[in-house]
């Protein structure tokens, strides 16, 4: 089989791909068909996503430029070239975000009785209430810092709300500082609800920044306030731990977390009314350039608006709640007896996450359970699952928990859980230095009839009840002896020492997953070259690994039909004649964050189906411990294809199709044809119970998704 040479032009840049995904998220906020409060929520999601993008990706670009590194990515662009392109696109995206908020969403909310009165619009009653609030709640905790030789520019926390104040006059000591900084304490709410009597509407909200701006003169008695401008700085938040030098990862990470809030500045956001002199002063203080400056018309942190969704009780303006279902197999009260006969598949959030919690809870109370083994990547600060594991350890179970301390932005929570587990005698290990433990797995060892029986739960998503209500994921319960033996072997690798052994069914990073995926793609290419049917369908969050992309290009050239459902960044360009004309790429963005990884290989009619914790990225293949596991039960395999793949390939409402140039076009149902949404169809199919599922009692109300 002749392979066409792949050039850098045939790879999409990763950073620009991330921004393109956020444009698709922002499009949800512009969609009239999306409930109004959800549109506001999508605007806040973009802000949250951009924060992390600057903290990690842009910070990395700036660091590469500073150090003069010349390692270009597969698209052959230098860090400086990528930064310039990212800056242009990010500025355009932020401008579009604020325009949509100010010109469309806020006016629409006002028509629904949800108002955000500006300072110049405050009534006399509102001014009085706000003034009282300022003196009662704000003034006692504010600490203005005048800038003079005795008071240098203060340390500004990452993403904190601050105010730069321009002044005239002299203070009580005769000082004539022309500027001061006021930092808003993190304990203060950024959005304050007005009493309905003062609001003039059913719901009225005022920003902390507006309240402080209106009364900033109270902080500088006798001086003239020329201007007061909110600003926010975003810092490099990628933790650096030299894994070759450290003696104790736990201790090293604790020390590094203290510095996260004060990393190098990478972005400055200011109010659009900020004077040029103050802008230049702030840029100088943070060592930033004009390209790093973002002037915004409104709050410098739109993510704070997420609180509105929860505070406003207007069901008609939100996605309707639903009751997740359960597979009919779980009608039995004894999951262990069920698993002796068959595997059980859960499709979240359409089906409940409660059985996963109950699975662990039951083992904690079961006298026949000897051991519980669990990986922890993200569980959150308030986790019922972790509390159950702590309780199980207290009751004398052999509890082993592999805690990934380097799970980005969850490091502190995981450190705290690790400490609590160790206090009650659980075995806590931190995986393998240099490789994040990203695999999602749980293993139960139970004594039955004088023998030990193993039960496993494997998943594409984290053991996090909140995200299980927001992200689409698959979870598999199994007592399959060989599959459970594979899981036990992976736990053995993580907690002990020894060489990796051959696993029967599971493909594992960093040892076999990449090689197995490459082999599966090549097998489809071989079948196509022989004139046999060949097809690949793969659903994931990101596709970036260069060799995998090259293998997909080669398979396409051989005639393999390839369907890629990639939520976020896809570096592959589809539809290029002679290279990728047999590849289609689509992204689905909707109510829930698409998170499941599903890989289908036709394999001569065998239809191999795998679920995985890993995307097709270099980090997942080579720098993480990941699992990719087969769906062995024929009925469950059909379910994964029917629920996890086909609806997404047929979606013509929330799907975006990628063109060869790397841009995306949203699909719309043609006139006279039915609009189809994968998520809406699954909501109609799974929670209602039609034969396969039954409703959960009490109902679990699903909160909309928030990408991370």
Give me the mean pLDDT over the 327-354 stretch.
Answer: 93
Give me the mean pLDDT over the 555-564 stretch.
Answer: 97
pLDDT at position 706 over 50: no
Q: What is the pLDDT of residue 186?
A: 86
Three-state SS at 203: strand
Q: Element (H or E) spanning 453, and its range? A: strand 451-459
| Distance of alpha carbon 267 from alpha carbon 293, whole angstroms | 6
**Range from 180-184, 253-257, 359-363, 500-504 that averages highest in pLDDT:** 180-184
Average pLDDT over the chain reads 89
* pLDDT per position as a tens digit, 657-683: 999 999 999 999 888 889 999 999 999
Give me the mean pLDDT over the 548-552 stretch.
Answer: 98
8-317 — its CATH code? 3.30.1840.10
Annotation marks residue 70 as catalytic: no
708 and 331 Cβ atoms separated by less than 8 Å: no
At 200, list the tokens: 């003039």
The more confident residue out of 528 and 257 is 528
Could you tell me the fold of the domain covering 325-505? Endonuclease; Chain A (3.30.870)
Lowest mean pLDDT among 147-156, 166-175, 314-323: 166-175
307 and 167 Cβ atoms separated by less than 8 Å: no
> Is there a shared CATH topology between the 8-317 domain and the 325-505 domain?
no
| Distance of alpha carbon 477 from alpha carbon 96, whole angstroms | 45
Q: For residue 209, which of 275, 305, 283 has the smallest C-alpha distance?
A: 305
Q: For residue 82, which of 571, 617, 658, 575 has the smallest C-alpha distance?
A: 571
pLDDT at position 246 over 50: no
**Could you tell me the residue ranges of all domains in the chain?**
8-317, 325-505, 508-685
216 and 195 Cβ atoms separated by less than 8 Å: no
Q: What is the pLDDT of residue 399?
A: 93
**Number of H-type helices and E-type strands within the chain:** 23, 29
> Global pTM?
0.91
Lowest mean pLDDT among 317-326, 331-340, 412-421: 412-421
Catalytic residue among 213, 215, 438, 464: 438
Q: What is the pLDDT of residue 251?
A: 53
Q: What is the pLDDT of residue 332?
A: 84
* pLDDT per position as a tens digit, 131-166: 999 999 999 999 898 887 556 888 899 999 999 999
Give me the mean pLDDT over the 351-355 stretch.
Answer: 94
Q: What is the pLDDT of residue 3?
A: 66
Express as a percent the part of the chain with pLDDT over 90. Answer: 73
Neighbouring-strand partners of residue 207: 191
| pLDDT grade for 479, boundaries at 50, 70 and 90 | very high
Q: Which residues contact 269 (CB under 8 A, 6 or more apart)?
A: 231, 232, 233, 234, 294, 295, 296, 300, 301
Neighbouring-strand partners of residue 611: 598, 629
The more confident residue out of 357 and 413 is 357
* pLDDT per position as a tens digit, 417-476: 888 888 998 988 887 777 888 999 999 999 998 899 999 999 999 888 888 999 999 999
The alpha helices in 200-246, defined as continuous H runs, are: 208-215
Q: What is the pLDDT of residue 669?
A: 87
Give me the mean pLDDT over the 159-188 stretch.
Answer: 83
| Distance of alpha carbon 482 from alpha carbon 659, whole angstroms | 43
508-685 — its CATH code? 3.30.870.10
Report the sign of the C-alpha dihedral through residues 689, 693, 695, 699, in that order: negative
pLDDT at position 290 over 50: yes
pLDDT at position 279 over 60: yes
Peptide bond into 470 cis (omega under 30): no
């Amino acid at each position: 089989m002749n392979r066409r040479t792949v050039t850098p032009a045939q790879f999409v840049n990763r950073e620009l791909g991330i921004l393109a995904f956020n444009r698709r998220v922002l499009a949800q906020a512009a969609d009239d068909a999306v409930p109004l409060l959800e549109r506001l929520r999508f605007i806040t999601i973009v802000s949250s996503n951009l924060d992390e993008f600057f903290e990690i990706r842009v910070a990395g670009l700036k660091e590469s430029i500073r150090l003069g590194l010349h390692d270009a990515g597969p698209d052959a662009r230098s860090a400086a070239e990528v930064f310039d392109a990212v800056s242009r696109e990010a500025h355009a995206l932020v401008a579009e975000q604020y325009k949509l908020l100010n010109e469309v969403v806020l006016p629409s909310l006002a028509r629904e009785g949800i108002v955000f009165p500006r300072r110049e619009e405050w009534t006399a009653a509102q001014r009085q209430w706000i003034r009282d609030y300022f003196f009662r709640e704000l003034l006692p905790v504010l600490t203005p810092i005048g800038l003079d030789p005795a008071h240098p520019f203060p340390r500004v926390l990452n993403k904190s709300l601050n105010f730069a104040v321009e002044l005239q006059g002299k203070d009580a000591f005769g000082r004539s500082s022309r500027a001061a900084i006021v930092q808003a304490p993190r304990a203060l709410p950024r959005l304050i609800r007005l009493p309905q009597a003062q609001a003039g509407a059913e719901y009225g909200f005022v920003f902390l920044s507006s309240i402080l701006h209106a009364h900033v003169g109270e902080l500088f008695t006798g001086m003239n306030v020329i201007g007061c401008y909110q600003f926010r700085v975003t810092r490099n938040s990628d933790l650096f731990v030299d894994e070759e030098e450290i003696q104790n990862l736990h201790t090293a990470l604790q020390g590094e977390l203290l510095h996260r809030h004060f990393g190098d500045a990478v972005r400055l956001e200011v109010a659009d009314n900020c004077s040029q002199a103050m802008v230049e002063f702030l840029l100088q203080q943070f060592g930033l350039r004009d390209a790093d400056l973002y002037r915004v018309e409104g709050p410098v942190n739109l993510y704070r608006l997420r609180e509105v969704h929860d505070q406003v009780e207007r069901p008609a303006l939100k996605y309707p709640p639903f009751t997740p279902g359960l597979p009919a197999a779980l009608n039995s009260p004894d999951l262990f007896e069920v698993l002796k006969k068959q595997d059980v598949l859960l499709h979240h959030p359409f089906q409940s996450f409660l059985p996963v919690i109950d699975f662990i809870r039951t083992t904690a109370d079961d006298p026949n359970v000897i051991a519980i083994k669990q990986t922890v990547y993200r569980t959150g600060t308030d986790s019922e699952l972790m509390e159950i594991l702590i309780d199980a350890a207290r009751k004398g179970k052999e509890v082993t928990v592999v805690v990934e301390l380097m799970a980005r932005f969850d490091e502190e929570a995981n450190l705290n859980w690790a400490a609590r587990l160790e206090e009650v005698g659980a075995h806590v290990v931190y995986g393998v230095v240099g490789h994040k433990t990203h695999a999602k797995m749980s293993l139960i060892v139970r004594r039955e009839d004088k023998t030990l029986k193993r039960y496993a739960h494997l998943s594409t998503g984290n053991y996090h009840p909140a995200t299980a209500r927001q992200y689409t994921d698959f979870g598999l319960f199994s007592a399959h002896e060989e599959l459970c033996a594979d899981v036990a072997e992976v736990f053995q690798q993580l907690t002990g020492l020894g060489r990796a052994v051959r696993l029967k069914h599971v493909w594992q990073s960093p040892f076999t997953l990449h090689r197995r995926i490459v082999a599966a793609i090549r097998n489809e290419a071989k079948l196509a070259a022989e004139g046999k049917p060949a097809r690949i369908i793969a659903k994931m969050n990101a596709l970036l690994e260069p060799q995998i992309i090259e293998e997909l290009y080669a398979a396409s050239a051989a005639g393999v039909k390839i369907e890629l459902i990639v939520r976020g960044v896809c570096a592959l360009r589809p539809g290029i004649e002679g290279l990728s004309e047999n590849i289609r790429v689509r992204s689905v963005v909707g109510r829930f964050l698409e998170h499941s990884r599903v890989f289908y290989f036709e394999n001569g009619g065998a239809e191999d189906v795998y679920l995985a914790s890993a995307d097709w990225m270099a980090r997942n293949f080579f720098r993480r411990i990941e699992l990719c596991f087969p769906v062995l039960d024929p009925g469950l395999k059909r379910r994964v294809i029917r629920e996890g793949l086909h609806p997404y390939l047929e979606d013509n409402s929330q799907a975006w199709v990628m063109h060869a140039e790397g841009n995306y076009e949203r699909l719309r149902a043609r006139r006279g044809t039915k609009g189809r949404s994968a998520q809406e169809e699954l909501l109609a199919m799974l929670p209602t119970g039609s034969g396969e599922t039954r409703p959960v009692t009490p109902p679990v109300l699903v909160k909309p998704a928030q990408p991370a």
